[in-house]
């Protein structure tokens, strides 16, 4: 059955949204991540509260913790300070805003100076952004930072029947053009890639296209890829699952993709471990499997597989 995707259809299936305070970040955490030069560095990640992303991708649930109105001026610097006052020191900072850092209604451009001032002690800054939101405002912001700058962008999937249906409103060329513009401005990039996007329901094809998408992103010039197992729970994905248009990935498929993507040796590959239990059917080995993936995220090497009677 053909299911027509539009912004209104995506919104129609949504469960209620949470009420957010624009003066406090949604969440923040301290972690460690291996850098492009191979060194493991402390990273502060702040999930900012801001105006909802204007794109309405089918698989997205980031809108849950966003505002309906444009973010008030001054709120983002206030949130960053709030989080940094409570976080330990770190060399790297990720500002993730459930959308696009260079959407002026999400992160007001009048705040760039104050934001850059708060980030001045970090040697590397990472934000997320849509591949089509590219322009002078990016270099204007980057020029205010003393350290290096990186932008994470969703490529999602290069499958020809999937990417146009995700409502992401990008093509493969848009992604290549964005990476090329950014690299000319000395800005590094990373890609988010989905395992088991909606509209692809064959297990083997999902592994194959996830790896093809990782390879495509590296060939475009990204320095890292983050593989995200696609989840339901946002309303429309649950509906697509009922229609047989979405199949949750198995943990073993994620492991295969991670092993093979690392073996490409084209750049760093990370695997999202949030809510990993959702993709496992065995309580005996989930702990060991999760810890193997976490160690592989740090070491960027393929570790021995976990043996269990379940597989
Ligand atoms: S562009 Fe990103 S934040 Fe916006 S709807 Fe798509 S996945 Fe969600
Ligand atoms: Zn098991």
pLDDT digits (tens, 9 = 90+) for 142-169: 999 999 999 999 999 999 999 999 999 9
Give 250 Cα–ligand 2 centroid separation in angstroms: 12
Averaged pLDDT for residues 250-266: 97
Number of domains in the chain: 1
128 has which bridge partners?
A: 152
The answer to whether position 1 is within a domain reads no
Q: Which residues sit with their C-beta closer than 6 Å to ligand 1?
A: 53, 55-57, 60, 62, 98-99, 130, 154, 168
State the Cα–Cα distance between residues 171 and 194, nearest whole angstrom.
15
Q: Which ligand is nearest to the CA of 305?
A: 2
Confidence band, pLDDT 50/70/90 cuts, at residue 311: confident
Averaged pLDDT for residues 99-107: 98
The CATH number that applies at residue 206 is 3.20.20.70
The answer to whether position 309 is within a domain reads no
For the CA of 168, the nearest atom of ligand 1: 6
Residue range of the domain that includes 269: 7-299
The answer to whether position 185 is within a domain reads yes
State the Cα–Cα distance between residues 279 and 292, nearest whole angstrom.
15
The answer to whether position 213 is within a domain reads yes
State the Cα–Cα distance between residues 117 and 113, nearest whole angstrom.
6
Confidence band, pLDDT 50/70/90 cuts, at residue 2: low
The answer to whether position 304 is within a domain reads no
What CA–CA distances, in Å, run from 15 to 90, 180, 214, 226?
A: 36, 38, 32, 27
- Can you give the pLDDT at residue 1? 53
The answer to whether position 308 is within a domain reads no
Helices vs strands, H then E, count in the chain = 9, 8
The answer to whether position 252 is within a domain reads yes
The answer to whether position 310 is within a domain reads no
The pTM of this model reads: 0.97
């Amino acid at each position: 059955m053909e299911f027509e995707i539009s912004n209104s259809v995506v919104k129609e299936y949504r469960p209620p949204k949470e009420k957010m305070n624009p003066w406090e970040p949604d969440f923040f955490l301290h972690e460690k991540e291996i850098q492009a030069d191979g060194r493991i560095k402390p990273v502060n990640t702040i999930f900012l509260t801001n105006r909802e992303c204007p794109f309405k991708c089918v698989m997205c649930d980031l809108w849950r913790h966003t505002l309906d109105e444009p973010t008030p001026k001054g709120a983002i610097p206030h949130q960053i300070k709030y989080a940094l006052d409570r976080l330990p020191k770190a060399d790297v900072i990720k500002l993730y805003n459930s959308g696009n850092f260079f959407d002026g209604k999400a992160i007001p451009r009048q705040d760039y100076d104050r934001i850059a001032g708060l980030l001045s002690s970090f040697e590397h800054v990472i934000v997320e952004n849509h591949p089509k939101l590219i322009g002078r405002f990016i270099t204007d912001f980057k020029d205010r930072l003393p350290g290096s700058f990186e932008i994470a962008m969703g490529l999602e999937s290069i499958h020809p029947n999937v990417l146009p249906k995700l409502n992401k409103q990008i093509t493969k060329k848009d992604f290549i053009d964005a990476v090329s513009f950014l690299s000319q401005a000395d800005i590094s990039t990373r890609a988010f890639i989905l395992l088991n996007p909606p509209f692809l329901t064959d297990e083997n094809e999902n592994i194959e296209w996830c790896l093809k998408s990782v390879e495509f992103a590296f060939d475009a010039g990204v320095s890292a890829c983050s593989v995200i197992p696609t989840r339901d729970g946002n309303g429309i994905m649950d509906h697509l699952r009922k229609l047989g248009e979405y199949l949750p990935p198995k943990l073993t498929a994620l492991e295969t993709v991670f092993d093979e993507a690392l073996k490409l040796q084209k750049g760093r590959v990370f695997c999202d471990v949030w809510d990993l239990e959702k993709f496992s059917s065995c309580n005996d080995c989930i702990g060991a499997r999760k810890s193997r993936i976490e160690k592989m995220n740090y070491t960027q090497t393929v570790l021995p597989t976990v043996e269990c009677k379940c597989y």
